[in-house]
Structure 1
């Protein structure tokens, strides 16, 4: 009998992906499986055995207030159901953002709507920026440790290469780090990777501190000398707060506030600022980002030609505009957000100190880096001996420890994910509801056999069902082991 498609006895075969598609599949398969597990099987009062995510930089400290605010203030206009009145966002948002930058970032040159382009989050903006600043195979210098997302932002579609710069761990924010930049650039270009840009994350992710003005100027001089672009990711600009560790920390200094031509002999057309809605506005899911380049209209025009691929939703633009235009709510919101960030930081660092866990003092962002090397083991979960720390700086023991943490249904940011020079450091996010944070920390205590910190019991009673939050892990051990093995295949 003839086959339904008229072909006798032929075997069907799957269509092939492009070379790019196959490469993406090879890189991302395990990562996507792990991410799906973390998000779809997340801890909650109704799912007490789910994964507790202390690794993703997501601020939920004011979600309740923001839900109430947006539900009472949000409205759409007929234009919001069209492509709008701007290729990348909306004129309303551009005006509101310009007003914000001029009021809070102290720009040397007043920011105008025509100086910026909006997009669907900072990752989308950086992706488009990379596409227009470099060619496949070109490099971007990034001091370590650095935000793991920069790898995909620059490489996934544009094909640029993140080139880690091993700056001095004892003083990663000092002017002297530029000596390491010089050497890294020389080695990279000698190996066939032309360097096109320098990535500055200020406030820094994952270290949670701000760059001094002198260091930003040194970066600019370096970029001018080597004909590079300087990208300043300032997404945590309003998430800066004093702490008991440092009551008078280095303030946030925006690249927009510096006269680069006068102070550094640098063409300001080299300097581009990226900002977004995700972090300071507790809104990772709304996807709002903006590129600001007041002195490079050619770049903005080039990016605008492809901006349809990162176009921000008109609804998200209206939501962001709403809060930016509110001269009463906005400043109070920023003040309260900073207060709660400090409170959450102090709670988390108190937990570290109680257990004798060293940490790197921070005063910005949603996280803190802590040294977990005391929890290294000599063998992995299968009883196989692990290399001595002297052999690989502890990389194998770090990976084994992180797999144990995942198996305990807690996710933290690993040293490998952030290209941290010293394995064993973890990034712990604290900007979340106290009851959720307490459950994650309690699971770490259980995993490592630590004494219970008194503040956790009180924390578990804040904001939810205590019985659910005190539930112990039960069932699904084989499945959890599979997820832990996925961790070995990813850089999370």
Structure 2
């Protein structure tokens, strides 16, 4: 018999994704498999990365030992610090003592939640959100994830900071003490960067209430477009560490997460990082990092990779160009299909698009009329089921906390042949073919 907590968490921890990944479409060997445009996986330059990792020097004997301990080798921490000092442009340089290495950013997220909150405390999370934050922050730490709604406001607009304060005060009235705010910058699933002024005001809010700010910056080097769009300015990436905290926030309240999974298209390498000047947090997590120990082979590969400035600079540049090319292909295809989408995306691996509107247009031609928002949500769920029946995997609105029905997350960082097949299957569903 499972424990009470294991039984209670069963639904939140089960994941159909693992079944999907065991039945993937292949144009020759598995034409009936799933086409996945729903996984945050960057496949565009994986051959180049694998080639570089295969050139790593021979594995030294010490990697078969505990080396410098479970929080990462000194070499790996130094390589990470050097790389992030170049790419996050921190106001104060990142030192080895500020870094804990984990076996992925999910583990890093959970560590922060466990260390900063008591069971029953809350963490604010703006909508829409990366769906796995609910599990990473809440399940084992027993923390309440409190979604922040914005209504008609842009979630990344400076005016939306007020909604975080409103949610914080409302939670206190409900008996939930908010201990942290979770940010994903660049944003997953919106594929945009938070404005600098937004970040500063959120930092000031955290200082006002003594709340921690956890910034997941795993897509920091995956910004592939700058300048204005057709309608408004596109924001550049700003790390929370790049802002002088003087008279804004106690640096001990700031914590940044990063990893190799997205910027380097290496989900399977399993390397995440916590960067914090709160050395009580660093020491606590270091003591617990036996549960998130990155392997010696991962430590070695990441060290060699991040020490190679020439390779990482060229790789990031090529990755940005490949992502922009993929975005333009997907955007052009969506335009031809009559699918509305967020035109200000410029970072990460996604397009946030409204598949429900063309789906309902097709149904209205058949005489079906949607009368209210509840019916729209029902139709959004029906559309998600039809897409699944068509064996195309996408990010579903309610799983990402969308405030509007019908907005799905599409991953653009897939091989072109896979994008073409996935978008074709989506078009067939929308048109009822």
TM-score tier after normalising by the smaller chain length = over 0.9
Whether 2:174 is the aligned partner of 1:191: answer yes
Larger radius of gyration between Structure 1 and Structure 2: 1
Q: Pick one of 193, 197, 216 that aligns with 1:214.
A: 197
Name 1:8's counterpart in structure 2: none
Whether 2:325 is the aligned partner of 1:343: answer yes
- Secondary structure in structure 2 of the residue aligned to 1:48: coil
Name 1:300's counterpart in structure 2: 282
Name 1:120's counterpart in structure 2: 103
Q: Pick one of 200, 205, 214 that aligns with 1:231.
A: 214
CA contact (8 A) 2:150 2:163 kept: yes
- Secondary structure in structure 2 of the residue aligned to 1:49: coil
Name 2:114's counterpart in structure 1: 131
For 1:377 and 1:353, the matched residues in 2 are separated by 17
For 1:73 and 1:87, the matched residues in 2 are separated by 22
Name 1:146's counterpart in structure 2: 129
Name 2:269's counterpart in structure 1: 286
Whether 2:246 is the aligned partner of 1:261: answer yes
CA contact (8 A) 2:76 2:299 kept: yes
Any residues of structure 2 matched to 1:36-185 within 5 Å, and which?
Answer: 36-45=18-27, 46-185=29-168
Any residues of structure 2 matched to 1:309-458 within 5 Å, and which?
Answer: 309-361=291-343, 362-376=345-359, 388=370, 390-392=372-374, 394-449=376-431
Give the Å deviation of 1:77.
1.1
Q: 1:317 to 1:179 in 2, by over 3 A?
A: same
For 1:17 and 1:435, the matched residues in 2 are separated by 44
- Secondary structure in structure 1 of the residue aligned to 2:400: coil
Gaps of 5+ in 2: none
Give the Å deviation of 1:311.
1.0
TM-score of the pair, normalised by structure 1? 0.83
For 2:227 and 2:84, the matched residues in 1 are separated by 29
Q: Which moved more, 1:371-380 or 1:92-101?
A: 371-380
Give the Å deviation of 1:196.
0.5
Give the Å deviation of 1:51.
0.4
Q: Deviations over 1:166-222 (max 9, x none)?
A: 125442212211221122112212112111100111101111111111110101111
Q: 1:414 to 1:389 in 2, by over 3 A?
A: farther
Q: Deviations over 1:227-276 (max 9, x none)?
A: 100001100000001179739731111111111124x2x11110000001
Q: Deviations over 1:280-333 (max 9, x none)?
A: 01001111100000x211111111121110111111111111111112211000
Name 1:487's counterpart in structure 2: none
Give the Å deviation of 1:64.
1.3
Give the Å deviation of 1:75.
3.1
Give the Å deviation of 1:378.
11
Gaps of 5+ in 1: 1-15, 452-492
Q: 1:379 to 1:431 in 2, by over 3 A?
A: closer
Give the Å deviation of 1:338.
0.3
- Secondary structure in structure 2 of the residue aligned to 1:171: coil
Q: 1:423 to 1:204 in 2, by over 3 A?
A: same
CA contact (8 A) 1:116 1:300 kept: yes
CA contact (8 A) 1:94 1:116 kept: yes
For 1:446 and 1:74, the matched residues in 2 are separated by 49
Q: 1:78 to 1:318 in 2, by over 3 A?
A: same
Number of aligned positions between the proteins: 426
CA contact (8 A) 1:378 1:397 kept: no
Name 2:9's counterpart in structure 1: 24
Q: Deviations over 1:380-407 (max 9, x none)?
A: 9xxxx99945142622111110000000
Q: 1:314 to 1:27 in 2, by over 3 A?
A: same
Name 2:237's counterpart in structure 1: 252
